[in-house]
């Protein structure tokens, strides 16, 4: 497949028709015109002359001298949309001046001069439409250009000079607005893509030189000065600074970075100088993957869009049939006036334009995807954005999602303080187990001196046995105690178990020295976010966890979940997700690694993972932060986009239906017909763009 940037692509319906024609060419199957991003994807072996002929017939063209945007191969051309719009504005301005002059001259003379002026005004604003329409008519291809050409020729043939010219001008304005609306949405997406760094300062052989980021290899050392972008994912080798990771996570707050810490390509170094060892080639970096997926996301067709495109194929022929009936039935059956009903039929033809209908979805979808991406929420396609707006149940994994995934000691019962701390620290200090780390972190606040165990053994299902100064000690769960504990100890064990704690019991051969109650720290924001999700229209928020019941119950109560399911194995999580999806639209939220099967089973998989490859690859939606803070806003944006699309479809069809109903009393005029389409296009475009306007208002608030 080969990709080309297009110019002059301002009509969604025309793009659909051109794509169908290219697919009919030899080797053309599978070629696509990506209207949202103004691109052409061609199959290998297609005759380029034939493709260019199809594009030219509809006023589109391949941008010449395309250049690759360093390293990631996105072809950009920012001037063509502006140039096309400016030319169109100048022609429309001239046309309006000539039209106004023609109306004045018409009141002053009975000569043919006003007619000539009307025709000049119509040709100035509408000549591209007439040329395309005439070519289509010869091929018996009926689209909006053909319909407009027939309507205008018909209007002029019955002496409706003024009205025909007004229709030509209004149609030109309509085309301009349609192109500008989509261009606005595309620009918001292009602004997003500009965050990609272009160059890097490579340190090689003790010298610094500027290189394109595409030439960087894994292991290269780069210098990042204050205010510069980090060229690709890597590890800080020297230096200390705060870094703005908004391009990756959508978070405005800077993150402190020092030696040994991971940094992401596209992040901005705020102050100081960092030397970064590159760990990924740019095209494999988190930012490159995000930008690639966001670009791809624009072009996935939602079920609604697929239905609209299919419907548009039947809509125009249906309107043409109605137009024929309007022209013929009243004069033949009801003695109507041929001239007036011919005029009504021409007006009906104009109502046959499905442009506003086809435009009802893409601008809103692109705006929604771009706005979410700016917030650090990666939606992999319009279809997933639409799904997100329909979700009523969210299932959460516990560890690392609702909790920090970082065990810590919350409670302690101490019976022999000095011996308890010394034994626990001496045995756990060399372990990399998360619970052992939690114990060592707790002991760091105490004045403890550790000893080196003479012998240490792991006992499966119990814990660790060790010998210190000839005495045997045990650190582990309840089963590790080799004797009946004292009554006080038994009470404390029961209390901790009832509270959902994981127990770390430290004992000698004859007595319990102390107990650590370890738990996974609940994220401070979890409860507030669950509340926001309910406010955003989510009916059920449930937790799926492999932890035992008491721990699950404790977390569920603290964060305000409607339900929880505990002691689940990975395959049981999948079964539980299937049960939930059978009852309603369900999203599964996890870390994208161990929850992959459940994420894939749900109607929508949402991963959180600050740029981790597995998170980006597994889920339909990725929260690029390491928390759930942006999830409620993502759902609100998705619901808003869905509402806007429904409203747009209603407006596009509603205004046309009103225009058609005006034919019954014979009140439909050419200018009312074009205004119904133009009004729908303007409303659909402006309403769709409010998704992005909302973002700007929020920023300035």
Residues annotated as part of the active site: 397
Q: Please check whether residue 438 is in contact with residue 553, taking contact to mean a CB–CB distance below 8 angstroms.
A: no
Q: How many CB atoms lie within 10 A of CB 602?
A: 27
d(CA 395, CA 399): 13
Using only the alpha carbons of the chain, give its radius of gyration. 34
d(CA 570, CA 588): 13
Per the structure block, which two tokens stand in for 567?
A: 């002691």
Kindly write down the DSSP assignment for every residue of 457-508, as one continuous string: EEETTTEEEEEETTEEEEEESGGG--SPPPHHHHHHHHHHHHTTPEEEEEE-
Q: Please check whether residue 222 is in contact with residue 267, taking contact to mean a CB–CB distance below 8 angstroms.
A: no
Q: Please check whether residue 230 is in contact with residue 265, taking contact to mean a CB–CB distance below 8 angstroms.
A: yes
Phi then psi dihedrals of residue 41, to 5 deg: -110, 115
d(CA 99, CA 118): 6
Three-state SS at 22: helix
Beta-bridged to residue 507, according to DSSP, are 474, 512
d(CA 411, CA 432): 21
Could you give the strand order of the β-sheet that contains 377-379, starting from the edge strand earlier in sequence? 377-379, 621-623, 604-608, 586-590, 393-397, 540-544, 563-565
Per the structure block, which two tokens stand in for 56?
A: 């030219």
d(CA 700, CA 429): 51
In the block, residue with structure tokens 């439409």: 129
| DSSP summary character for residue 446 | S
In whole angstroms, what separates CA 396 from the centre of its chain?
21
d(CA 265, CA 281): 10
Angle at 191 between CA 188 and CA 197, to 5 degrees: 160
Q: How many CB atoms lie within 10 A of CB 83?
A: 12
Angle at 469 between CA 464 and CA 470, to 5 degrees: 75
Of 605, 635, 618, 592, the residue nearest 405 (C-alpha): 592
Long-range contacts of 259-262 (CB under 8 A, 24+ apart): 260/235, 260/236, 261/235, 261/236, 262/233, 262/234, 262/235
């Amino acid at each position: 497949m080969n990709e080309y940037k297009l110019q002059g692509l301002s009509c969604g319906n025309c793009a659909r028709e051109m794509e169908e024609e290219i697919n009919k060419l030899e080797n053309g199957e599978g070629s696509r015109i990506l209207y949202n991003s103004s691109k052409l994807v061609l199959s290998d072996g297609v005759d380029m002359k034939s493709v260019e002929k199809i594009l030219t017939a509809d006023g589109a063209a391949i941008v010449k001298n395309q250049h690759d945007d360093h390293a990631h191969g996105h072809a950009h051309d920012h001037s063509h949309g502006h140039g096309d719009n400016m030319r169109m504005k100048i022609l429309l301005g001239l046309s309006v001046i000539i039209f106004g002059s023609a109306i004045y001259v018409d009141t002053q003379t009975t000569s043919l001069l006003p007619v000539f002026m009307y025709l000049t005004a119509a040709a100035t604003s509408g000549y591209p439409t007439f040329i395309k329409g005439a070519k289509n008519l010869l091929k018996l291809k009926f689209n909006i250009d053909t319909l407009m050409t027939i309507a205008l020729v018909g209007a002029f043939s019955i002496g409706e000079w003024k009205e025909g010219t007004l229709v030509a001008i209004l149609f030109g304005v309509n085309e301009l607005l349609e192109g500008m609306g989509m261009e606005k949405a595309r620009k918001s997406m292009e602004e997003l893509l500009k965050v990609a760094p272009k160059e890097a300062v490579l340190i090689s052989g003790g010298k610094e030189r500027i290189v394109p980021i595409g030439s960087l290899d894994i292991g290269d050392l780069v210098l990042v000065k204050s205010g510069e972008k980090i060229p690709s994912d890597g590890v800080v080798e020297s230096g200390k600074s705060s870094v703005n990771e908004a391009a990756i996570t959508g978070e405005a707050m800077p993150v402190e970075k020092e030696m040994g810490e991971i940094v992401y390509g596209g992040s901005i170094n705020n102050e100081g100088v960092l030397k970064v060892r590159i760990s990924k080639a740019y095209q494999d970096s988190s930012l490159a993957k995000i930008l690639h997926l966001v670009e791809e996301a624009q072009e996935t067709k939602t079920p609604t869009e697929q239905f609209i495109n299919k419907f548009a194929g039947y809509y125009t022929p249906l309107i043409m049939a109605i137009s024929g009936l309007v022209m013929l039935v009243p004069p033949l059956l009801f003695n109507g006036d041929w001239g007036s009903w011919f005029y009504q039929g021409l007006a009906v033809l104009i109502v046959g334009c499905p442009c506003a209908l086809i435009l009802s979805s893409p601008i809103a979808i692109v705006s929604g995807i771009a706005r979410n991406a700016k917030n650090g929420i990666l939606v992999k396609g319009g279809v997933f954005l639409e799904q997100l707006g329909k979700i009523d149940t969210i299932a959460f994994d516990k560890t690392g999602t609702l909790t920090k995934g970082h065990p810590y000691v919350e409670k302690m019962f101490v019976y022999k303080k000095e011996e308890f701390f010394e034994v626990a620290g001496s045995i756990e200090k060399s372990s990399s187990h998360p619970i052992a780390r939690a114990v060592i972190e707790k002991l760091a606040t105490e004045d403890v001196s550790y000893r080196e165990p003479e012998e240490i053994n792991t006992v499966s299902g119990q814990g660790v046995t060790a010998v210190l100064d000839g005495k045997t000690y045990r650190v582990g769960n309840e089963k590790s105690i080799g004797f009946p504990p004292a009554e006080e100890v038994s009470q404390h064990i029961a209390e901790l178990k009832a509270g959902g704690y994981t127990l770390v019991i430290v004992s000698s051969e004859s007595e319990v020295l102390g107990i650590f109650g370890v738990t996974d720290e609940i994220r401070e924001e979890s409860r507030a976010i669950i509340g926001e999700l309910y406010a955003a229209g989510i009916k059920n928020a449930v937790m799926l966890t492999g932890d035992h019941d008491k721990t699950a119950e404790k977390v569920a109560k603290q964060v305000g979940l409607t339900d929880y399911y505990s002691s689940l194995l990975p395959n049981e999580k999948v079964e539980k997700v299937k049960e939930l999806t059978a009852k309603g639209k369900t999203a599964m939220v996890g870390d994208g690694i161990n929850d992959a099967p459940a994420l894939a089973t749900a109607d929508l998989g949402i991963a959180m993972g600050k740029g981790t490859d597995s998170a980006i690859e597994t889920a339909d939606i990725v929260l690029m932060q390491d928390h759930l803070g942006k999830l409620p806003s993502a759902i609100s944006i998705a619901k808003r986009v869905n509402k806007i699309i429904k409203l747009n479809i209603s407006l596009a069809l509603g205004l046309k239906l009103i225009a058609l109903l005006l034919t019954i009393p014979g009140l439909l005029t050419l200018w009312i017909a074009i205004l119904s389409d133009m009004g729908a296009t303007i409303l659909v475009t402006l309403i769709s763009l409010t998704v992005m306007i909302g973002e700007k208002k929020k920023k300035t608030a």
